[in-house]
């Protein structure tokens, strides 16, 4: 797990090594253990490996210092920061080359099945000088070319310079766990793990990407497109690779997730088959993610997803027959004194069941006030609520306890149908497919489980059915967000409502959209920035492509059944999860006392909103404050602080 950055001037003008150093320095938090640089003249094939201030001592004598003056004129450069996870020796130093020096890589991520791929490559005659997954990627690319990506099970964002073919090969994992950002003006290609590294290039203008303002405030969408809030800075989409040579950029998709949206009546025998298979795949996904040469722990909220990861981890450790206390699983949880939002009682149940070493943190508004600018700086783009601040505190807690790798439960809701809004979508689907008997049973069961009237649930369902037929203006009419913008701005971008329209009467399709395009992308961004801010590697077993593919092949009737969401997961974890967690009715997620926190933030926010949302002068926002203490106020505050922090025009 690391930070990557680089510059490729395809017009052959020399790059600035000073800029390359600044880029790497700006993401030092992603890799404090080591750094390295690669300089290439792509015209004559000349290559120099350089060291920086944080390069491990034993390597400094073997190369030149990055800023050493020379006649060498590179037009391509890599700047790399290392967080050591596998093969902690100097053999894991990057940028790394293959045996004959024709390929060079800088890489952020983990290929969890690297041992199996390495064995396959050894049989083909490849040689290895390290025990890293990085070298496996290099040799896999040499053997299979771009198709090597189909071999990998993991998370990755990397850049490979192919000195024979004179091309830069960049790729991102199937679901976008690891980030890859870039700027390209047909002459200069600048890329990095984080946007702040790209912004070290002062020739790149800092401008707000106006359409995303609409998406953020009106559609409640972020991380849903290859564009970012910074105009002309893009992210490489998940499941895509990029090839750059002297002719320019080519972007290709290498993976497509499929889903089964055929209706199937519930069958107990099939449930057993599906449950057993799911348990088998999930167990292996967790097992692979325990591969590390540093301590591994888990985030634990007390919900179904994180508890599943912790309990499967316990089963895994039991199978290794270890009684060593140093090998105990460590868990990290954010809790509160307010029982209405605290999940500590559920966390305690899991800790008692598994015997893990539990650690707790109590986030509060005073700490948030003191570090909100740092929090925003690390997130890099506006976010929708304070909920991810709880995760920020969990990552810091892990760092304080010297745990470098954390497993987390992100990605489960998006494939199992775990969000509250998934239920009326499923009911609307039953209505449209004329499965009225099943619809009645589900409405009756959910009303008893949730203590809601059938009428209320039916109205939610009906709204999903009629929503697509409503004109855009009617859909905007009751939105408080729409009232804060000038009419011309709304009219200019209102068609984006249809561009990013989600499925409201086909739940499997909606889950596919949330997994590949919407919800998961923002959660993974939060996860990556929060963890890497504290030099923590976060791993997400539910985003293992085998888990995702299998779960998306299971008919929806096994995901929501008799009022229970995530039914198939609950059944698969029979005997592994404590019953109080397995059949837990409520769902909190990363809950924070947001209203109370926003009231505190109001102290610093009122002036910020008027003085920093200068976009009002560009006739986007109406020239008035929004003072109501709610989530929209948070958006305003977050947006205004973000514009100040990044000096945006």
Show the tokens assigned to 303: 């919900």
Q: Between the CA atoms of 281, 418, 220 and 384, what dihedral angle is there, to the nearest 10 degrees?
A: -80
Q: How many helices (H) and strands (E) does the chain have?
A: 25, 19
Q: Is 148 a catalytic site residue?
A: no
Q: Please measure the distance between the N-terminal and C-terminal CA atoms of the chain and give it in whole angstroms.
A: 33
> What is the rounded distance in angstroms from the CA atom of residue 534 to the CA atom of residue 630?
30
Show the tokens assigned to 307: 């508890």
DSSP label of 314: H
Which secondary structure element, helix H or strand E, spans residue 4, and what is its range?
strand 2-9
> What is the rounded distance in angstroms from the CA atom of residue 558 to the CA atom of residue 555?
6
> What is the rounded distance in angstroms from the CA atom of residue 575 to the CA atom of residue 531?
31
Longest Cα–Cα distance in the chain: 79
Show the tokens assigned to 270: 């099939």
Q: What are phi and psi of 445, to 5 degrees?
A: -65, -45
Q: What are phi and psi of 285, to 5 degrees?
A: -65, -40
Q: Is 518 helix (H, G, I), strand (E, B) or coil?
A: coil
Beta bridge partners of 132: none
Residue 7 Ramachandran class (φ > 0 left, ψ -120 to 50 alpha, else beta)? beta
Three-state SS letters, 403-437 = CCEEECCCCCHHHHCCCCCHHHHHHHHHHHCCCHH
Q: Is 330 helix (H, G, I), strand (E, B) or coil?
A: strand
230, HSE (Cβ side, Cα atoms, 13 Å) = 22
Catalytic annotation, residues:
2
């Amino acid at each position: 797990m690391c930070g990557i950055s680089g510059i490729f001037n395809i017009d052959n003008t020399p790059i600035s090594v000073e800029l390359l150093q600044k880029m790497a320095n700006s993401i030092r938090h992603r890799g404090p253990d080591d750094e390295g640089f690669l300089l290439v003249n792509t015209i004559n094939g000349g290559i120099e490996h350089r060291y920086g201030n944080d390069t491990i001592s034993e390597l400094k004598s073997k190369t030149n210092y990055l800023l050493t003056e020379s006649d060498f004129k590179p037009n391509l450069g890599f700047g790399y920061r290392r967080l050591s996870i596998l093969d902690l020796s100097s053999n894991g130093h990057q940028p790394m080359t293959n045996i004959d020096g024709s390929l060079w890589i800088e890489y952020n991520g983990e290929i969890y099945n690297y041992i199996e791929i390495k064995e396959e490559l050894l049989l083909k005659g490849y040689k290895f000088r390290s025990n890293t997954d990085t070298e496996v990627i290099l040799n896999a690319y040499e053997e299979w070319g771009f198709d090597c990506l189909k071999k990998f099970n993991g998370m990755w964002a990397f850049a490979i310079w192919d000195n024979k073919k004179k091309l830069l090969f960049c790729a991102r994992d199937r679901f976008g766990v690891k980030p890859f950002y870039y700027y390209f003006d047909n002459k200069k290609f600048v890329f990095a793990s984080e946007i702040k590294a790209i912004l070290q290039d002062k020739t790149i203008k800092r401008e707000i990407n106006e359409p995303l303002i609409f998406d953020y405030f009106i559609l409640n969408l972020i991380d849903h497109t290859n564009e970012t809030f910074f105009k002309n800075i893009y992210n490489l989409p998940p499941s895509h690779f990029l090839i750059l040579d002297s002719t320019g950029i080519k972007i290709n998709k290498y993976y497509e997730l499929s889903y089964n949206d055929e209706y199937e009546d519930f069958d107990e025998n099939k449930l057993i088959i599906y449950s057993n298979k799911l348990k088998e795949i999930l167990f292996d996904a967790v097992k692979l993610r325990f591969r590390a040469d540093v301590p591994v722990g888990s985030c634990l909220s007390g919900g179904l997803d994180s508890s599943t990861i912790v309990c499967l981890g316990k089963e895994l450790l039991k199978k290794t027959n270890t009684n060593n206390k140093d090998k105990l699983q460590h868990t990290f949880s954010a809790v509160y004194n307010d029982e209405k939002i605290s999940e500590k009682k559920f966390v305690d149940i899991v800790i008692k069941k598994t015997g893990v070493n539990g650690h707790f943190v109590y986030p509060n508004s005073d700490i948030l006030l003191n570090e909100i600018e740092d929090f925003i700086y690390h997130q890099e783009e506006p976010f929708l609520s304070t909920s991810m601040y709880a995760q920020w505190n969990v990552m810091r807690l892990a760092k304080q306890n010297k745990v470098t790798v954390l497993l987390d439960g992100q990605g489960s809701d998006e494939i199992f149908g775990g969000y509250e809004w998934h239920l009326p979508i499923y009911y609307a689907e039953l209505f449209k497919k004329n499965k009225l008997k099943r619809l009645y049973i589900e409405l009756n069961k959910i009303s008893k489980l949730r203590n809601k009237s059938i009428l209320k649930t039916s109205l939610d369902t009906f709204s999903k059915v009629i929503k697509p037929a409503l004109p855009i203006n009617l859909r905007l009419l009751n939105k408080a967000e729409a009232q804060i913008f000038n009419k011309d701005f709304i009219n200019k971008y209102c068609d984006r409502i249809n561009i990013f329209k989600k499925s409201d009467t086909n739940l499997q399709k909606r889950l596919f959209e949330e997994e590949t395009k919407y919800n998961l992308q923002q959660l993974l961004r939060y996860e990556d920035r929060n963890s890497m801010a504290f030099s923590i590697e976060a791993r997400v077993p539910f985003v293992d492509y085998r888990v995702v593919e299998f779960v998306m092949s299971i008919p929806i009737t096994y995901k929501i059944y008799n009022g229970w969401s995530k039914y198939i997961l609950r059944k698969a974890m029979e005997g592994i999860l404590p019953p109080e967690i397995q059949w837990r009715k409520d769902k909190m997620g990363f809950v924070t006392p947001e209203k109370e926190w926003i009231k505190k933030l109001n102290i610093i926010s009122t002036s910020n909103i008027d003085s920093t949302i200068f976009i009002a002068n560009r006739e986007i926002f109406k020239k008035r404050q929004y003072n109501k203490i709610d989530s929209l106020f948070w958006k305003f505050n977050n947006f205004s602080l973000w514009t100040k922090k990044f000096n945006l025009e």
